[in-house]
Amino acid sequence: MAERCEVLRVENVTVAYNGRVALRGATFTVLGGERVAVVGPNGAGKSTLFKAIVGLLPLESGRVEVFGCDPRREPASVGYVPQREDVDLTFPVTVHDVVMMGRIRHIGWLRRPSRRDREAVRRALEQVGLADLAGRPLGELSGGQVQRAFIARALAQEAPLLLMDEPFAGVDAASEEAILHLLDRLRERRVTVLLATHDLQMAAEWSDRVLLLNGEVIAYGPPADVLCPDALRRVYGGQLTLWEHERGTFILGDGHCSGGRR
């Protein structure tokens, strides 16, 4: 099997808000086609990490490279799906318009979308099951549909690296199923995905590697190595109860994370 190339390098990245450090000294690499679950409690720095990677937050120190380049200079190489609460649903825009925003780097400013741009938008909407709602105002969609619209925007961008910040938070069952199906299709296309989640069971079953985060990188590696009692206690402390049993470790959360068994 051919050796996979390095897609993402985060090296000693520190980010601060108003003088307070939100993420300190984060260092890790991601290979092409990998699925990485970014796990940690609320306030652990998951969203901060993603925003730093795409250039929405300045770095206090360190560097980020995507395919060896600064993603701030090559933004088309990274697709980003923000948390739903970061989206202004009062802005008068249709679902089609939102997805077409993912093509801006291809279209250029003050130019009309080409046939290829329109086809990319149509295909992205079909992939997330929103083709019939293309003309609907974004504010009329359900929470799960809004999340799928922003996933479609990232797909239309055709980026080889996709960051998804809590895509399952507050979504309906149909949207969750659609997103899971889409993640499988992205794997077939060798798209590299980083997904922030509170769901430890999903992290264990879905990802190739898990990044445990709580203000800094606590552990990074295969789920079987990372999702162990010692590392989880370092991340969650009193927020997490672990019941060790001969058949595995049962994880009981208090609302900041979802439980499961490994």
Confidence grade of residue 110 (pLDDT, cut at 50, 70, 90): low
The per-residue pLDDT of the chain, averaged, comes to: 85
At residue 45, the 3 state secondary structure works out as coil
Q: What percent of the chain has pLDDT over 70?
A: 86
Q: What percent of the chain has pLDDT over 90?
A: 44
Confidence grade of residue 247 (pLDDT, cut at 50, 70, 90): very low
Q: What is the pLDDT of residue 251?
A: 52
Q: What is the pLDDT of residue 254?
A: 44
Confidence grade of residue 36 (pLDDT, cut at 50, 70, 90): very high
Mention every residue, 6+ apart, whose C-beta is less than 8 A from residue 82: 47, 150, 165
Q: DSSP strand E in the chain: where? A: 6-17, 20-31, 35-39, 61-66, 78-81, 161-165, 192-197, 209-213, 217-221, 240-245, 248-253, 260-261
C-alpha distance across the termini of the chain, in Å: 29
Tokens of 47: 């969203």
Mean predicted confidence (pLDDT) in 39-44: 91
CA distance 164 to 197: 9
Q: What is the pLDDT of residue 32?
A: 94
Residue 69 near residue 243, CB atoms below 8 Å: no
* Pairing label, strands 61-66, 35-39: unpaired
Mean predicted confidence (pLDDT) in 201-216: 93
For the cut 90, the answer to whether the pLDDT of residue 210 exceeds it is: yes
Tokens of 189: 């296309």
Domains of the chain are 6-261 (3.40.50.300)
Q: Order of strands, edge to edge, in the sheet holding 260-261?
A: 240-245, 248-253, 260-261
Better-predicted residue by pLDDT, 89 or 9: 9
**Helix spans in 82-169 (H):** 95-100, 104-107, 115-127, 143-157
Q: What is the pLDDT of residue 75?
A: 65
Q: What is the pLDDT of residues 251-262, one digit of tens each?
A: 545 444 444 434
Q: What is the pLDDT of residues 54-85, one digit of tens each?
A: 989 999 999 999 988 888 777 668 889 988 76
CA distance 125 to 108: 21
For the cut 80, the answer to whether the pLDDT of residue 105 exceeds it is: no
Q: What is the pLDDT of residue 113?
A: 83
Mention every residue, 6+ apart, whose C-beta is less than 8 A from residue 122: 131
